[in-house]
Structure 1
């Protein structure tokens, strides 16, 4: 299959690696220094937990032209970058698009592509459960197993599921289909935004994060507030056990997070203030529509985002 991975950060790089190993014709869209690194050195990934390094050669493009046709396009971008990518996708002839990553605005994005696309678009949304960082021209990837994507459509099953199955059938990568992907992504956002507000406030100095007991308590409490906001607006809490543990056992969750932040692997998780701010700004609208008080979320927002 002819597949485009739009974006060459941690997530896009690992997905491209998986698809290359699966025997597909993979193109990666990258720009600037990243494109030069890939052309010169190849797609270099240090698999942190597996203690190995892989190098793959992939075709690099810097721009998606309107006539460039692909069987599948995976857009692996930060949430704050999706808006700039949509006009490019709408002009392209390719029909099957998966927008992968944190997303608070799935329906509007699907609506935009369906109304403005020069060709009929079928859109799915997903989240790849890998993490890591990029340094010195290579990706450090943290993954358990062979990688997984939670994926779904907004109006029923993914309409091009057979293409997705074909893309991954020769890999050990797992596709987990979710029939409420919009709610899943919003639930995930409730986890990552408070956590990253505290991490960015301390400039990724995890020892300082662990010692900041006040904000660690606020972090877990803010997650619970976020779940209650979603629930009040009619969104299911998914996975349900995840929300019930966080709201029911906040002290235990806080201890678990502290243990995680003390591990060396926690220092390799990347995050940007730009994406965090964009996610939080969108969630501000949801909080305003809800009658649920969010004092801990508000406190983190004031302390961590206005001073970062």
Structure 2
């Protein structure tokens, strides 16, 4: 298959790595220094847990032209950046697009692509589990033994699922399909946002934050408030275990948070290396809009936004 990975950051590079190993002809879209790195040295990834470095030769482009047709396009970006690439995606004559990453407005993105493309667009949404950071000349990728992709449509079965499955054959990626990715994506950012407020409370000093039991309890209560907002608006919290952890397994979740904050990898996952400041801001605004629609108060969530150690 001819596959384009639109976005050459940590997750886009790791996805391209899996697709290359699956035997596909992979092209990456990149700009600036990253474009030069890919052209000169290939895609260099240091796999953090696996203690190995891989180098993949990929095709590289700096822009997507309407006539550049691919069997499948994966768009892997931060949520605030998606809007800037939608016009180029819509104008392009490729038919199958998967938008990967945190996302508060998948319906709007799909509708835009379908309404503004010269060809019938089939659009799915995904989330690639992993994290990492950039270093000069390479990406540091934090992931498990297998890559994990959560993927699906927006309330409908993906009739073209076989094409996605084909892309991941021999890639060492595990795919988990959900029928309604809008519910999954909203549930996900409502869970991770309160956790990412922990770093702000202590100016990034998570070793100090782990000692603040009041802060960690506010985080758990804020996740529950977010779940309640979704439920009032008619969404199903997905996966259902997200509700169970905050309502029935609270002590285990609390201990899990403390353990996460106490490890180098956990601290990476809760830093701006995993979710950037502008993405947190955009997703926070999206939650504010949901809360307004639900006409609900969220005192724990509001407290987290302005939390400081002096308020303990």
Q: Could you tell me which residue of structure 1 aligns to residue 59 of structure 2? A: 59
Q: Which secondary structure state, in structure 1, belongs to the residue aligned with residue 93 of structure 2? A: coil
Q: 1:155 Cα shift?
A: 4.3
1-side partners of 2:281 and 2:296: how far apart?
21
2:288 corresponds to 1:284 = yes
Preserved contact between residue 77 and residue 100 of structure 2 (Cα < 8 Å): yes
2:77 corresponds to 1:73 = no
Moved over 6 A (4+): none
Q: Deviation string for 1:47-75 (max 9, x for gaps)?
A: 11111111111111111111111000000
Q: 1:39 Cα shift?
A: 1.8
2:304 corresponds to 1:300 = yes
Q: Could you tell me which residue of structure 2 aligns to residue 30 of structure 1? A: 30
2-side partners of 1:18 and 1:113: how far apart?
27
1-side partners of 2:23 and 2:158: how far apart?
23
Gapped regions of structure 1 (runs ≥ 5): none
1:120-269 mapped onto 2 (5 Å cutoff): 120-269=120-269
Farther-moved stretch of structure 1 (3-12 vs 238-247) = 238-247
Q: 1:202 Cα shift?
A: 3.3
TM-score (norm: length of structure 2) = 0.93
Number of residue pairs the alignment of both structures matches: 304
Gapped regions of structure 2 (runs ≥ 5): none
Preserved contact between residue 220 and residue 254 of structure 1 (Cα < 8 Å): yes
Preserved contact between residue 153 and residue 159 of structure 1 (Cα < 8 Å): no
2-side partners of 1:202 and 1:46: how far apart?
29
1:267-278 mapped onto 2 (5 Å cutoff): 267-269=267-269, 270=273, 271-278=275-282
Q: 1:201 Cα shift?
A: 4.2
Aligned CA distance change for structure 1 residues 63 and 201 (closer, same or farther; 3 Å): farther
Q: Deviation string for 1:212-255 (max 9, x for gaps)?
A: 33322211111110001101111112111222111233343122
Farther-moved stretch of structure 1 (202-211 vs 10-19) = 202-211
2-side partners of 1:46 and 1:202: how far apart?
29
1-side partners of 2:47 and 2:188: how far apart?
24
1:39-50 mapped onto 2 (5 Å cutoff): 39-50=39-50
Aligned CA distance change for structure 1 residues 32 and 200 (closer, same or farther; 3 Å): farther
2:8 corresponds to 1:8 = yes
TM-score (norm: length of structure 1) = 0.94
2-side partners of 1:134 and 1:266: how far apart?
17
